[in-house]
Amino acid sequence: MVSSVSWVRGKCVGKGAFGVVNVAVSKRDNRVFAVKSVDCGRGLSGQVEALENEIGILKRVTSPHVVAYIGDDVTCEGTASFRNLHLEYMPGGTVADLDRADVDERLVRRYAWCLATALRDVHAQGFVHCDVKGRNVLLSGDGEMAKLADFGAAVEIESSPAMLLFPRGSPMWMAPEVVRRERQGPESDVWSLGCTVIEIAIGKPAWEDRGVDTLSRIGYSDELPEFPIQLSELGKDFLEKCLRREPSERWSCDQLLQHPYLLPYYALVE
């Protein structure tokens, strides 16, 4: 464990090219939170920039279904210096790591509702997430609450023309217009939401990975990912509204929250 100014770094809960995510404890009040860190010396400049981008955006986004920003700082640990983002700790892992045996349609619906709520708020507050996928959806300890995380690729809606040159996100979840580098807006997040709901239901990405061929199928064919056979007709109808190839025909998150697949939850909580 490494001691920092006001908190102690605990066990690692996520690792990637970007750096690490650890559990941390505040020395002041023993509060537990998560810390996403990039080594300023060793990380590529793009990684520090992505974390700065994420910090700037998460500070401004509020939603009960977005992992909450708690703070940020820079720490010196040994000879290294880290840029850190403090986040609400989600102990339940990601929806990509769920045991399939535990996932029934009630949970699929519930997580779909959590994500549609998160994206409705993110879009209403002026941002596009750009990287919606199972690994970026975190769960509460009891597994009932899902929250959207990883705003490293997120952008303000106004800056979307700048995105044409650089599609953001993860290929298998990308909307056709993003693959074609035409545009990346709130509608593109809705496509990724559809892919993520399929991923939750079947326990693997919606598209089978065939390398470059997958991208050409997503961007330039009439194909759609297969809708899971185990889902109800209502569930498949919901997916059909998310996975329309023409972005202007896709439902918005506001509309999706009124879809009968999600409406029971919507009516209950809001």
Cβ proximity to Mg ion, 36 vs 217, nearer residue:
36
- Answer with the entry of ligand ADP, Mg ion, none that 64 interacts with (C-beta below 5 to 8 A by kind): none
Told to check if 135 binds ligand ADP by CB under 6 A, we report: yes
Distance CA 252, CA 190 (A): 7
69 binds ligand ADP (CB under 6 A): no
Which region, judged by CB under 6 A, interacts with ligand ADP, from 82-90, 156-164, 184-192, 234-242?
82-90
Those residues whose C-beta lies under 8 Å from the C-beta of residue 224, and which sit 6 or more positions away, are 243, 245
If you count DSSP H runs as helices and E runs as strands, how many of each does the chain have, helices first?
A: 8, 10
State the minimum distance, in angstroms, from the CB of residue 149 to ligand ADP: 5
| C-alpha–C-alpha distance, residues 4 and 18, integer Å | 20
Report CA Rg, the chain. 19
Comparing CA positions, the residue from 242, 234, 231 lying closest to residue 261 is 234
Nearest to 44 by CA among 17, 20, 15: 17
HSE-up of 94 (CA within 13 Å, CB side)?
17
CB-based contact 40:25 (threshold 8 Å): no
Q: Nearest to residue 231, comparing CAs of 114, 109, 117, 96?
A: 109
For Mg ion, the binding residue among 136, 184, 188, 196 (CB under 5 A) is: 136
Supply the minimum distance, in Å, between the C-beta of residue 254 and ligand ADP: 26
> Residue 172 corresponds to which tokens in the numbers above?
């298998």
- Which helix (H) or strand (E) segment is 215 a member of? helix 212-220
| Distance in angstroms (rounded) separating the CA atoms of residues 107 and 144 | 8
Asked if 13 is part of the footprint of ligand ADP (rule: CB under 6 A), the reply reads yes
The dihedral built from the CA positions of residue 148, 154, 157 and 163, taken in this order, carries a sign that is: negative
Task: Clarify whether 39 is annotated catalytic.
Answer: no
Please tell me whether residue 152 binds Mg ion under the rule CB under 5 A: yes
Task: Using CB under 6 A, pick the residue from 138, 155, 202, 242 that binds ligand ADP.
Answer: 138
Choosing among Mg ion, ligand ADP, none, which partner's interface includes residue 67 (Cβ < 5 to 8 Å by kind)?
ligand ADP
Length of the chain: 270
Query: Could you give phi then psi for residue 150, rounded to 5 degrees?
Result: 60, 75
Q: Which of 72, 121, 131, 150 is catalytic?
A: 131
Binder among 38, 55, 57, 90 for ligand ADP (CB under 6 A) = 90
Taking the complex as a whole, the smallest distance from the CB of residue 241 to Mg ion amounts, in Å, to 26
152 is an interface residue for ligand ADP by CB under 6 A: yes
- State the minimum distance, in angstroms, from the CB of residue 16 to ligand ADP: 4
| Binding residue count for ligand ADP, defined by CB under 6 A | 19
Is 22 a binding residue for ligand ADP by CB under 6 A? The answer is no
Please identify, using beta-carbon distances, which residue of 90 and 239 lies nearer to ligand ADP: 90
Binding mask 32-51 for ligand ADP (x = CB under 6 A): --x-x---------------
Question: Which positions lie near ligand ADP, rule CB under 6 A?
Answer: 13-14, 16, 18, 21, 34, 36, 67, 87-90, 94, 135-136, 138, 149-150, 152
Task: Enumerate binding residues for Mg ion (CB under 5 A).
Answer: 136, 150, 152
Q: Which positions are catalytic?
A: 131
